[in-house]
Amino acid sequence: MSGLEIVGVILGTLPLVVSAVEQYANGVYTTKRIFDYDKQAKRAFTRFRTEQAVCKNQLLQLLPSGSTGIVGIRSQSEGIEDLWKNPDIGHAIRTRLKGNYAIFVDMAQEVFGFMKAIMEILGVTLDKVLSGAESKMMKKIKFALKRGELRDLFEDLERTVRSLITLSKQALELETTAVFASKYRRPEFSVVRDCAEGVYSILQRGWEYDCRVPHTVSLRLEARTNDHSFDDDDDLRKSLKFRVIFSHTHGETPDEKSSWHWKETDVQLIDHDRSDKSEGEASSVLQEPISKKGSKKSVRFTPEAKEMIALQEPIFHPTMKPIQDLCKSIGNLQEENRTGCFGFLIDAEKKRRCSIYSLPAKGINQEPWSVVSLASMLRRITRSDRLNIAFIVASSVLQLYRTPWLDETWGKEDIWFMQRPGGQVDPAPFVSRQFSTPQGTRDDALRCTNVARNKLVRNPWLFALGVLLIELCYGMSIEDLGTSEDGGSEGGVASSEFFTALRIAQDDGIYTEAGERYGDAVRRCIHCDFDQRVTNLDAEEFRQAVYDRVIASLEADWKQFRAIA
């Protein structure tokens, strides 16, 4: 008998054991007479009798809801054993018990072992209570009671049953907590993503003037898992800020003639001139696909509310006009060394604007900063930073997938860190975009080789995340982790990476190296293993599964490490 089948047998047999002891051989011998020989055995049996009822209820709770329907079981007592043989039900229970599944089965085996020993003494088989040769059996029972055998068996049985109950109870409690957490505490990344996309398209408009030096816009990646405390999407939208660094250089020798090198800012996306809008216009902004939730609500601005909104938003000088040339505005700013909101850019439809806040420069200097890619940092980052980066980047994938900020084939070369003059490398990850180069030319060569891989990958953004998690775990690039056995030479470099990732995700090594949660996160990303039919991040259910099974795990790992360290 293997796996969960034993649980079905236990459930079917438990009442049999109880009734056999209580009314042995059709009431010829009463419990009282049996236990007259050993009061302790009687107490052990009484405890076991109570425990077995709890055990039965607890084990039945492990069954997925509606499972009695799956196998056509009419009542709880009928066909209970078959229920545990059903592979679908087995899978559901395995999922519920997670890492404790093997222990659970071992315990069940143990319970069954004790039950078998008791039944043997009592002369009970799985089918029926033996009625013949009572006197001979009674002698056997008396002997077992005298030697304390039955008492020991009942005590062992009771103890193991209790552990079994605790284990399944914990599994269900954890599940409830996870469901609770996932239901009420998931941040609205679709709103963040919509805003990030808006920020990109508006910022792009600021560089339309000819300047010889390329402009790079770097967006700081944020976990944003605490952004769930807002009652509605609009409140979240209003509170969202993006840390953006503008630069005239990108790891290259700075242009001496440039008026500025780096500017650190906060950028906020706001509905343009919200207070002056008629309701019709306001809802047309809200009706963009991602904010469906907001469009259902009818928003009415009372005069008081208008004033409140005006106060919350940055106060613009009446003559302040939208920024036309961001490069020039930043140049002027450097000279004045001003902080706070220095202007806004507006989108083509004049529906949304980006307010740009200058941050105080830490020590005035005109020296260029340096940028370092994650690819070049891999071997040098501490475990703590690796866990933090893994968590932030994973969370960012849900915020930035299919926006201009993140390519489908993103990787360690796309994640950057900043190093201020004379300072350490700041561990906050960024993604960077050059606005003066036409989009689409950048990675064309790379994209071609990745076509083959993409055919095999169910979700490229998550696959890329899985690869990065592997690289962060080992502090090595996926190329360096490859072996000749990974193969894929016919399919090009990208395919061999694919096979390396596949091998590592199946390997126990990643679990040993990074632990259960991290290992599971890697496996899920690489295999797109989320138990979902749709594997498109636009599907809310899939996105939630990714959040619960990858991001929440990485967050837990990072928090745990930080607590210990």
Nearest distance from residue 212's CB to Zn ion, in Å? 8
Nearest distance from residue 328's CB to Zn ion, in Å? 8
Nearest distance from residue 245's CB to Zn ion, in Å? 14
Angstrom distance (rounded) from CA 394 to CA 404: 17
Question: Number of residues in contact with Zn ion, rule: CB under 5 A?
Answer: 2
DSSP per residue over 98-109, as a string? GGGHHHHHHHHH
Candidate list 18, 71, 211, 502; residue touching Zn ion; CB under 5 A: 211
Region of 275-283, 325-333, 430-438, 442-450 interacting with Zn ion (CB under 5 A): 325-333
Binding mask 402-441 for Zn ion (x = CB under 5 A): ----------------------------------------
List the alpha helices (DSSP H) in 205-301. 233-239, 279-286, 292-296
Question: Of the two residues 211 and 346, which places its CB atom closer to Zn ion in the complex?
Answer: 211
Question: Of the two residues 217 and 472, which places its CB atom closer to Zn ion in the complex?
Answer: 217
Question: Of the two residues 12 and 251, which places its CB atom closer to Zn ion in the complex?
Answer: 251
Taking the CA atoms of 308, 311, 316 and 318 in sequence, report the sign of the dihedral they define. Answer: positive
Region of 89-97, 210-218, 465-473, 526-534 interacting with Zn ion (CB under 5 A): 210-218
Region of 9-17, 32-40, 87-95, 323-331 interacting with Zn ion (CB under 5 A): 323-331
Dihedral angle computed from the Cα positions of residues 104, 109, 115 and 117, in that order, rounded to the nearest 10 degrees:
-150
Taking the CA atoms of 384, 389, 390 and 395 in sequence, report the sign of the dihedral they define. Answer: positive
Region of 172-180, 292-300, 324-332, 365-373 interacting with Zn ion (CB under 5 A): 324-332
Nearest distance from residue 325's CB to Zn ion, in Å? 8
Nearest distance from residue 211's CB to Zn ion, in Å? 3
Angstrom distance (rounded) from CA 344 to CA 551: 34
Residue pointed to by tokens 């360690």? 412
Question: Of the two residues 205 and 458, which places its CB atom closer to Zn ion in the complex?
Answer: 205
Residue 327 within binding range of Zn ion, rule CB under 5 A: yes
Region of 119-127, 207-215, 514-522, 537-545 interacting with Zn ion (CB under 5 A): 207-215
Nearest distance from residue 204's CB to Zn ion, in Å? 14
Q: Which two tokens stand for residue 564?
A: 């210990």
CB 241 within 8 A of CB 267: yes
Question: Of the two residues 96 and 261, which places its CB atom closer to Zn ion in the complex?
Answer: 261
If phi > 0 it is left, if psi is from -120 to 50 it is alpha, else beta; for residue 101 that is alpha
Nearest distance from residue 349's CB to Zn ion, in Å? 26
Angstrom distance (rounded) from CA 505 to CA 511: 9
Within 10 angstroms of residue 9's Cβ, the number of other Cβ atoms is 20
Question: Of the two residues 327 and 393, which places its CB atom closer to Zn ion in the complex?
Answer: 327
List the alpha helices (DSSP H) in 475-551. 478-481, 493-506, 509-514, 516-527, 540-546
Residue 217 within binding range of Zn ion, rule CB under 5 A: no
Question: Of the two residues 71 and 211, which places its CB atom closer to Zn ion in the complex?
Answer: 211
Nearest distance from residue 327's CB to Zn ion, in Å? 3
**Quick check: helix, strand or coil at residue 354?**
strand
Residue 345 within binding range of Zn ion, rule CB under 5 A: no
Region of 141-149, 183-191, 319-327, 356-364 interacting with Zn ion (CB under 5 A): 319-327
Angstrom distance (rounded) from CA 71 to CA 85: 10
Question: 127-148 b/e with 16+ CB inside 10 Å = b?
Answer: eebeeeebeebbeebbebbeee
Question: Of the two residues 325 and 529, which places its CB atom closer to Zn ion in the complex?
Answer: 325
Binding mask 167-206 for Zn ion (x = CB under 5 A): ----------------------------------------
**Quick check: helix, strand or coil at residue 422?**
coil
Question: 191-229 b/e with 16+ CB inside 10 Å = b?
Answer: bbbbbbbbbbebbbbbbeeebebbbbbbbbbbbbbebee
Nearest distance from residue 560's CB to Zn ion, in Å? 45
- 530 burial type by CB count under 10 A (0-12 exposed, 13-18 middle, 19+ buried): buried
Nearest distance from residue 367's CB to Zn ion, in Å? 18
Phi, psi of 449 (to 5 degrees): -70, -20
CB 327 within 8 A of CB 211: yes
CB 516 within 8 A of CB 102: no
Region of 59-67, 211-219, 373-381, 471-479 interacting with Zn ion (CB under 5 A): 211-219
Question: Of the two residues 89 and 203, which places its CB atom closer to Zn ion in the complex?
Answer: 203
Nearest distance from residue 330's CB to Zn ion, in Å? 8
Question: Of the two residues 211 and 428, which places its CB atom closer to Zn ion in the complex?
Answer: 211
Region of 100-108, 321-329, 402-410, 506-514 interacting with Zn ion (CB under 5 A): 321-329
Q: Which two tokens stand for residue 556?
A: 């837990």
Nearest distance from residue 177's CB to Zn ion, in Å? 52
Nearest distance from residue 363's CB to Zn ion, in Å? 23
Question: Of the two residues 24 and 435, which places its CB atom closer to Zn ion in the complex?
Answer: 435
Question: Of the two residues 92 and 211, which places its CB atom closer to Zn ion in the complex?
Answer: 211
Contact set with Zn ion (CB under 5 A): 211, 327
